[in-house]
Amino acid sequence: MSIERTAPAILPVSTAGPSRDTRLEAEVVDLFDQFRDRLLRYLLAFGLAIPDAEEIIQEVFLSLFRHLQRGKSRANLRAWLFRVAHNQALKRRQRNRRDPESLAADGIAVDPTPNPEDQALSTQTHRRLLAVVRALPEQDRRCLALRTEGLRYREIAGVLDMSLGAVSISIARSLARLTRATER
């Protein structure tokens, strides 16, 4: 599977002056290079097909450009990016529910080609762990996915609109299940 790495191609033009927008565009491209793969993995774990995930990533970085262009806060852009991606994924999933042709039999948009993670998980232990992760409640899977992308508990709480305690319990519960699966 080959996924093309392209930064957002069309960014809005501002009358604020080309040098400011050029710097902002370069900053957004740098952030795109830094976070694109992480966001893609999160969106795929969310259950989106690759084309939908790629489109959402483009929307996220266009939103980021506009956010920065308006002089909004640059505090914790990593959490901001994941929160916007999360919200866009929820909207996409809701839209797909209204469009049954874009859904698989189980109601989740899927990509027909196997992804590299599934191909690499060939040993019995890995298959067992994958089964445990897939059996986790959706909220626990999301917390675990964001944690594996390096977000701190407080950032995960902000992205998923959960309390810090709920995130901590969710991740602890998920890790306990994974640990039990490896001990079998």
Q: pLDDT tens across 148-171, in order?
A: 888 999 999 999 999 989 998 998
146 and 119 together in one domain: yes
Average predicted confidence (pLDDT) for the chain: 79
Place of tokens 């040098």: 19
pLDDT digits (tens, 9 = 90+) for 71-127: 888 888 999 999 999 999 988 888 877 655 544 444 445 554 555 654 444 467 777
Residue 47 domain boundaries: 12-112
35 and 22 together in one domain: yes
What is the greatest pairwise CA distance in the chain?
Answer: 63
The number of folded domains in the chain is 2
121 and 100 together in one domain: no
25 and 108 together in one domain: yes
108 and 150 together in one domain: no
- Look at residues 36, 14, 35 and name the one whose alpha carbon lies nearest to residue 25: 14
For 73, 85, 133, 165, the CA distances from 171, given in Å and listed in that order, are: 29, 20, 12, 10
105 and 125 together in one domain: no
Instruction: Tell me, yes or no, whether 181 lies in a domain.
Output: yes
Instruction: Tell me, yes or no, whether 136 lies in a domain.
Output: yes
Look up the pTM and report it: 0.58
Place of tokens 């529910």: 97
* Two structure tokens written together for 156: 């995960």
Provide, rounded to the nearest whole percent, the portion of the chain with pLDDT above 90: 29
27 and 107 together in one domain: yes
Of 112, 145, 163, the one marking the end of a domain is 112
Mean pLDDT of 141-146: 91
Could you give the CA distance from residue 98 to residue 72 in angstroms, rounded to a whole number? 34
Identify whether the C-beta of residue 136 lies closer than 8 Å to the C-beta of residue 174.
Answer: yes
Could you give the CA distance from residue 42 to residue 144 in angstroms, rounded to a whole number? 10
